[in-house]
Chain A
Amino acid sequence: MSTAPVTVLRSERWLIPPEGVPLRIEIAEPGERAAAFLADIFISTTAAVLILLMGVLSAGLEFTLPIALFLAFLARNAYFVFFELRWGGATPGKRLFGLRVIDRRGGPLRAGAVVARNLTRQAEFFFPVEMLLVTRGWFWSAADILPAAVWIAAMLGIIYRTKDHLRAGDLIGGTIVISVPKRALAEDLAGETRAFVFTPEQLQHYGVKELQVLEDVLRRPHNQDSARLRYEISERIQRRIGWTQAFRGDQIENFLRDFYTAQRSFLESRKNFGDERPDKFHAK
């Protein structure tokens, strides 16, 4: 079982499901979305090329450029719409990066919203890119690049200026792209070993924040760096709480785990009594 880091870097929103318990959602970062998009483009373009090849080989139609471009248009739009409908807001690329499209207000995802957000991509992204492919002279001139560049900049501007990183398609479709990473349930660090016993006075010093930093440290995989970190932290804790009994170096892990268990038990019971201690400055 992996003990993935639980630190959250994305910005968070609350979504209220019909059951009334607010759920925390994490807004997908533009970088993740770009990566998922590139993966999708790669897959759908490969599929479109295969279709084209099959068409040329079998039908013997005159596959002129307009027809090829039209099929490419179909492939890249139908691909997104189909998967977002069938997989409830995910495409292969989005699934790869743990992203999902959901309705911004917590309702079910509508088919119209899916189609609208994906057709808008045509105007948002593909048209300006196609504009960039066409040159009037033998090389790109400023006049060739400028309109498309302004266009793309405006669209990127929408993504970065809206607070939920919405692109124009999301604005029109009423959707939002969130990240839904899958976290395994890590083992409970509060163990049963009672080699070290702490007095209530010794547990007065720290708050929830320090406790959770200690949790992160204890969940780190064992190696030289983490061993040194554990050693330093145990030294600091001993100094802070006035721990006087010396113990062997191989007991550091046990000491920290027992301290974690005792501290968590203490803080949880304080919390039950309405005395929340967010960090070590709670006394001041």
Chain B
Amino acid sequence: MLALKSSEFRKEREASWKELDQLLELARQQGIASLSTADLRHLPLLYRAALSSLSVARAIALDRALLAYLEDLCLHAFLTIYARPLAVGAAIREFLARSWPRAVRFMRAHVFLALSALLLGAISGYLLVYADEGWYSVIIPAGLAGGRGPASTREELLAILFTKAQPGAFLLAFANILFSNNTLVSLLAFGLGILGGIPTLLLTFGNGLMVGAILALHAHRGLGLEITGWLMIHGVTELGAIVLFAAAGLKLGEVVLFPGQRSRADALAADGMAIGDVAVGGVLMLLVAAVLEGVFRQTIANTDGRLAVAFATLVFWTVYFTLAGRRKQP
């Protein structure tokens, strides 16, 4: 009379649960690649059987330990099968070849907005300082001026533009990323996007102002081309990174302010991937810029070479962001 359905059910299926359990443990300890072909073929079958056991148990069993065990077993199996370890190399390739350029194109409106803010800042800075060098010290804080200012002579500026490389510059170049003003501006532009985008645009504009001011100071002394080469050999990439961070920040602000029909967390989850990809790409660009600044600028000590590299990076990034990853995934 006391034939417990749930007990019989458990006796009948327990062996297959244990088998799944062992496979999962093996996969956890030695990686899923260590399973034999037969085991691999068996795993999804056992997983589906466990899921069906779980459904049945939820319907008929009142044994809490049994239910908890099955919940856990199914979740572990689900994670083993669906949240598989990723090959780092393949992930990097996928990111460079598809995700990043696609994410940048996805928010091209934001990129153009950020770029406009930067250019507008640069033009304003240039015009202001070109007309009256008194603006220079207003725009550029003393800490960032690097000894250059309205009082500098042409010779002093030239000396800075063509300094000799120091030994060990390569690693130091990377190291300096962390302490560079542009990294701070990038991260702030991104982070402050959450405040609706206005601080992001202001920061980008302000950064443009500084670039324009430096250009104007040198242009006054007949060093326009020289400073362009000195700045832009890495500046194209570095300012590009700032623009990307700012665009990601603007998108972030847009999602937070106008999530539409979705909850904010859902809206962020949907667009967050693209935002994250663009920001991660920005970090890569900062690294590239550091190499260009720390190594190439020191070794290429002439303006023509620097301008050529600057132009090449400009063409490269433009082509890359407009064309890469357009093909449909096979």
Contact = CB atoms under 8 A, between A and B. Distances in A.
Interface of A: 3, 6, 15, 17-19, 21, 23-25, 61-62, 64, 66-67, 69-70, 73, 82, 85-89, 100, 102-117, 119-120, 123, 127, 162, 164, 166, 171-174, 180-186, 188-190, 194, 208, 211-212, 215-216, 219, 261-262, 264-265, 267-269, 271-272
Contact of A174 (B75, B88, B273): B273
B76 A66 contact: no
Contact of A181 (B51, B72, B88): B72
A284 B85 CA distance: 53
A265 B82 contact: no
Interface stretch (B107-115, B139-147, B166-174, B201-209): B166-174
Interface stretch (B53-61, B117-125, B233-241, B319-327): B53-61
A24 B71 contact: yes
A161 B145 CA distance: 42
Given A116-B272, A267-B62, A17 B280 contact: no
Contacts of A67: 171-172, 175
A188 B65 CA distance: 8
B273 A113 contact: yes
B: interface residue count bin: 35 or more
A214 B269 CA distance: 43
Contacts of B61: 268
A61 B95 contact: no
Nearest to B64: A212
A19 B51 contact: yes
A15 B83 CA distance: 13
B175 A112 contact: no
17 contacts: A64-B175, A66-B178, A85-B91, A86-B88, A88-B80, A111-B95, A112-B276, A119-B279, A123-B190, A166-B265, A174-B273, A180-B75, A185-B18, A215-B64, A264-B62, A268-B5, A272-B5
B85 A111 contact: no
A264 B48 contact: no
B295 interface: no
Contacts of B273: 110, 112-113, 116, 173-174
A185 B14 contact: yes
